[in-house]
Amino acid sequence: MTIVILYACSKGNGELIGVQGREEWYQPDPFGMLFIPMGSYNMGPSDQDVPYALTAQTRTVSVQAFYIDQTEISNNEYRQFVYHVRDSIFRKILADDREELLITTNEFEEEYDEPILDWYAKVKWNEPEIREALEPMYYNPAERYMNRREVDTRKLNYTYYWIDFRSASKRSNRDALNGPEGARHAFSLDRSKFIIRDVINVYPDTLAWIHDFTYSFNEPMTQNYFWHPAYDDYPVVGVSWKQATAFSIWRTRLLHAHLAELGSPPVNDFRLPTESEWEYAARGGLDLSPYPWGGPYIRNARGCFLGNFKPMRGNYIDDGGFHTVKINSYNPNDFGLYCMAGNVAEWTSNAFDESAYNFAHDLNPDYLYDAKDEEPEVLKRKVIRGGSWKDIGYYLQTGTRTYEYQDTAKSYIGFRCVMTYLGRAKDDNL
Q: Are 217 and 51 in contact (CB under 8 A)?
A: no
pLDDT bucket at 415, cuts 50 / 70 / 90: very high
pLDDT bucket at 9, cuts 50 / 70 / 90: low
In sign, the C-alpha dihedral spanning 97, 103, 108, 112 is: negative
What's residue 94's pLDDT? 86
Q: Nearest-CA neighbor of 159 among 95, 84, 104, 226?
A: 84
4 pLDDT higher than 90:
no
What is the rounded CA–CA span in Å between residue 119 and residue 88?
9
Q: Are 416 and 68 in contact (CB under 8 A)?
A: yes
116 pLDDT higher than 80:
no
In eight-state DSSP terms, residue 259 is H
Helices (H), 128-218: 128-134, 165-169, 171-174, 208-211
What's residue 391's pLDDT? 94
Q: DSSP for 338-372?
A: S-SSBSSEEEEEEEP-TTHHHHS-SBS--------
Number of helices (H), then strands (E), belonging to the chain: the values are 9, 15
Q: Nearest-CA neighbor of 284 among 363, 350, 329, 340?
A: 340
Q: Nearest-CA neighbor of 328 among 274, 101, 336?
A: 336
Higher pLDDT, 303 or 243: 243
What is the rounded CA–CA span in Å between residue 145 and residue 143?
7
What is the rounded CA–CA span in Å between residue 193 and residue 177?
20
What's residue 304's pLDDT? 87
Total domains in the fold of the chain: 1
User: Would 113 be classed as within a structural domain?
Assistant: no
What's residue 237's pLDDT? 97
Over residues 267-295, the mean pLDDT reads 93
User: Would 8 be classed as within a structural domain?
Assistant: yes
Q: What share of the chain is helix, strand, coil (3-state, %, to 5)?
A: 25, 20, 55
Q: DSSP for 375-410?
A: S-GGGGEEEEES--TTS-GGGGSTT--EEEETT---
State which of 191-195, 223-227, 287-291, 319-323 shows the largest mean pLDDT.
223-227
pLDDT bucket at 25, cuts 50 / 70 / 90: confident
User: Would 61 be classed as within a structural domain?
Assistant: yes
What's residue 285's pLDDT? 92
Q: Are 94 and 108 in contact (CB under 8 A)?
A: no
User: Would 152 be classed as within a structural domain?
Assistant: no
Least trusted range by pLDDT, from 210-219, 352-361, 385-394, 421-430: 421-430
User: Would 127 be classed as within a structural domain?
Assistant: no
Which range of residues forms the domain containing residue 425? 1-73+237-430
Question: What distances in angstroms separate CA 380 from CA 183, 206, 346, 371, one per listed residue?
Answer: 40, 22, 16, 6
What is the rounded CA–CA span in Å between residue 106 and residue 118?
12
- CATH classification at residue 417: 3.90.1580.10
Question: What distances in angstroms separate CA 194 from CA 108, 163, 177, 190, 380, one per listed residue?
Answer: 29, 6, 21, 8, 21
Over residues 313-329, the mean pLDDT reads 91
User: Would 356 be classed as within a structural domain?
Assistant: yes
Q: What is the pLDDT of residues 174-193, one digit of tens each?
A: 664 444 444 444 445 677 88
What is the rounded CA–CA span in Å between residue 209 and residue 199?
25
Measure the N-to-C terminal CA separation of the chain; round to a whole number of Å: 53
Higher pLDDT, 331 or 191: 331
Q: What is the mean pLDDT of the chain?
A: 88
User: Would 386 be classed as within a structural domain?
Assistant: yes
Over residues 341-345, the mean pLDDT reads 96
Q: Are 253 and 266 in contact (CB under 8 A)?
A: no
Beta bridge partners of 298: none
User: Would 20 be classed as within a structural domain?
Assistant: yes
Which burial class, exposed, middle or buried, applies to 288 when counting CB atoms under 10 A from its CB (0-12, 13-18, 19+)? exposed
The phi, psi pair for 68, rounded to 5°, reads -140, 145
244 pLDDT higher than 80:
yes
Give percent of the chain above pLDDT 90: 57
